[in-house]
Structures are given as structure tokens and as C-alpha cells.
């Protein structure tokens, strides 16, 4: 077995994890941009990570169902709370999302303050350990991806505020544990930003291509240069997104204002 084939065997489950994340996060990211609540993904992802930390403090098996339930429950509670705040104070919803993110992040810091491995655990939740994902870890996220994709196709643009937040929370719950908070945010927002001026089905296809190419190139480069996979994938996604945006159509209003 050559070094190249060995590296590909390491990369394959990680790439499959990334593709699973992209299946649901590309359409959800488009909804996030449309609704103007960009930082909801960071907030919900951080709340789901807080659920994982709480489960760890309670000495639950890191690979057990209890951790999944804790993360999902935390994310759903966060989604319900955000639904309530949007109904009560819609004019400051983005600020409220930011506050929830900060509270969840600092709560995690407090909970692991006396844990000798707390810093390492937080780093894993933020940057992820995607390169070391195993095939058996993909079963539950794969089932969740099928269910969430079916719900998105069934309801399309008819999702209520609460329905959207709940589906979003469930999608983010599994992806945070697979790829980390940074990649969850990047997968949701960056491809959507790049293709926002493209028309029709081309927009969705290009977004998926950016995502797949970003994950693949980041994983390959991380193994070649021994660099953190999550951080490198974020940069690869961002660079590809900028290239696709630069090569694409521009909004007519922007061009007109410049010529005016």
C-alpha cells in the first residue's frame, strides 16, 4: 500500500462526513441568508456544543446516545427560545442571537474550567476533528440527513418560524460533533454568499460544488502539510467561494450605481 493510497483511506470517511454536512447545510444556509439571521448557526452550534460539554461533565459515554440526546435537547431548547425572542422583540433578533452565542460559549468555558483536558475538548468542538472521523460515526448523521432533507423538500418555503428553527437545531446537533463549530458556520454561509447572484438551479449546484471541492482540497492539503484539517477546509472554502463569486454575474443595481 502506497503512502498516497493510505492517505486517501484516511481522508475518505472525513470527506463523507463533510458531504453529509453539506447536504442539509447548503439549503439551510440559503434560508438563513434569506431570513437575515446569519449568526443563528453560530448560536445554535455553540448551544449544541454546550449540551455535549454538559454531558461530558456528567460523565456520560462520549460515544453514547446520552451525548447525542444532550446536544439535541440543548439545540432544540435554544431554537424554542430564539422563536420566542423573535416573536417578542423581532427588531433586535440578530443581537439576541449574538447574546445567546456568547452565553453558551462562556458557559462552556466555566464548565470545563477545572477539567485538565477542558481546553482540548473545547478546541475539538470548535475546530473539529474531522480527519479522525470513523465510518461508524456516520450512521446517525446519515439517518438525520435523510430525515431533514425530506422535511426540507416536503415543506420548502412553507416552514413556520418554529419549524425552521427546530429543523435547523437538529441538523446542527450532529454536524457540530462531526466537523466542529467553525466548519458548521462556514458550510452554511460561505457557499451561499458566493452564489447569491447566480440564477436558478445553477446557484444550488455551484454551492454544492464549492462545498465538496473545499472539503476535498482542505483534507488533501492537511494530510500533505500536516496542518489542522478544520482550519484549512475553512480557508479552502472561502478561497473557492471568492473565485466563484468573482467569476459570476453581478447584481444589476450595483453595476448601475457605479456607472451612474
- Answer yes or no: are the C-beta atoms of 228 and 126 closer than 8 Å: no
For residue 185, give its domain range.
3-251
- Answer yes or no: are the C-beta atoms of 191 and 18 closer than 8 Å: no
Asked, for residue 258, whether it belongs to a domain, the answer is no
- At 115 the pLDDT is 80
Asked, for residue 65, whether it belongs to a domain, the answer is yes
Classify burial at 228, counting beta carbons within 10 Å of its beta carbon; exposed 0-12, middle 13-18, buried 19 or more: middle
Alpha helices in the chain (DSSP H): 3-35, 40-57, 65-88, 93-111, 118-127, 139-155, 161-179, 181-194, 200-225, 229-247, 252-259
pTM for this one?
0.85
- Answer yes or no: are the C-beta atoms of 192 and 29 closer than 8 Å: yes
- At 36 the pLDDT is 79
pLDDT band for 6, please (50, 70, 90 cuts).
low
- At 253 the pLDDT is 52
Asked, for residue 67, whether it belongs to a domain, the answer is yes
pLDDT tens readout for residues 126-138: 888 898 899 998 9
More confident residue, 119 or 255: 119
CATH code for the domain of 184: 1.10.3470.10
Asked, for residue 259, whether it belongs to a domain, the answer is no
Asked, for residue 256, whether it belongs to a domain, the answer is no
- At 106 the pLDDT is 94
Asked, for residue 201, whether it belongs to a domain, the answer is yes
- Answer yes or no: are the C-beta atoms of 97 and 37 closer than 8 Å: yes
Instruction: Say how many domains are in the chain.
Output: 1
Q: What is the mean pLDDT of the chain?
A: 87
pLDDT tops 50 at residue 259: no
Asked, for residue 123, whether it belongs to a domain, the answer is yes
The Cα 232–Cα 238 span in angstroms is: 10
pLDDT tens readout for residues 159-198: 888 888 889 888 988 898 889 989 999 999 999 999 999 9
Amino acid at each position: 500500500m502506497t503512502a498516497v493510497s493510505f492517505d486517501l483511506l484516511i481522508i475518505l470517511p472525513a470527506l463523507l462526513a463533510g458531504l453529509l454536512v453539506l447536504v442539509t447545510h447548503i439549503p439551510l444556509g440559503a434560508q438563513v441568508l434569506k431570513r437575515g439571521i446569519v449568526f443563528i448557526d453560530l448560536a445554535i452550534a455553540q448551544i449544541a456544543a454546550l449540551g455535549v460539554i454538559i454531558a461530558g461533565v456528567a460523565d456520560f459515554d462520549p460515544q453514547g446516545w446520552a451525548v447525542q440526546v444532550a446536544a439535541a435537547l440543548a439545540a432544540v431548547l435554544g431554537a424554542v427560545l430564539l422563536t420566542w425572542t423573535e416573536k417578542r422583540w423581532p427588531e433586535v433578533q440578530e443581537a439576541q442571537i449574538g447574546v445567546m452565542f456568547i452565553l453558551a460559549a462562556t458557559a462552556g468555558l466555566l464548565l470545563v474550567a477545572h477539567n485538565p483536558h477542558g481546553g482540548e475538548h473545547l478546541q475539538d468542538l470548535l475546530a473539529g476533528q474531522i480527519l479522525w472521523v470513523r465510518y461508524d460515526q456516520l450512521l446517525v448523521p446519515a439517518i438525520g440527513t435523510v430525515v431533514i432533507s425530506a422535511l426540507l423538500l416536503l415543506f420548502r418555503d412553507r416552514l413556520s418560524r418554529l419549524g425552521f428553527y427546530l429543523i435547523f437545531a437538529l441538523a446542527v446537533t450532529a454536524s457540530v460533533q462531526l466537523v466542529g463549530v467553525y466548519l458548521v458556520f462556514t458550510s452554511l454561509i460561505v457557499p451561499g454568499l458566493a452564489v447569491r447572484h447566480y440564477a436558478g438551479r445553477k446557484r444550488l449546484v455551484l454551492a454544492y460544488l464549492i462545498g465538496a471541492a473545499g472539503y476535498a482540497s482542505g483534507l488533501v492539503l492537511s494530510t500533505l502539510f500536516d496542518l489542522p484539517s478544520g482550519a484549512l477546509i475553512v480557508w479552502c472554502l472561502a478561497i473557492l467561494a471568492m473565485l466563484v463569486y468573482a467569476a459570476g454575474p453581478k447584481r444589476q443595481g450595483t453595476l448601475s450605481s457605479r456607472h451612474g
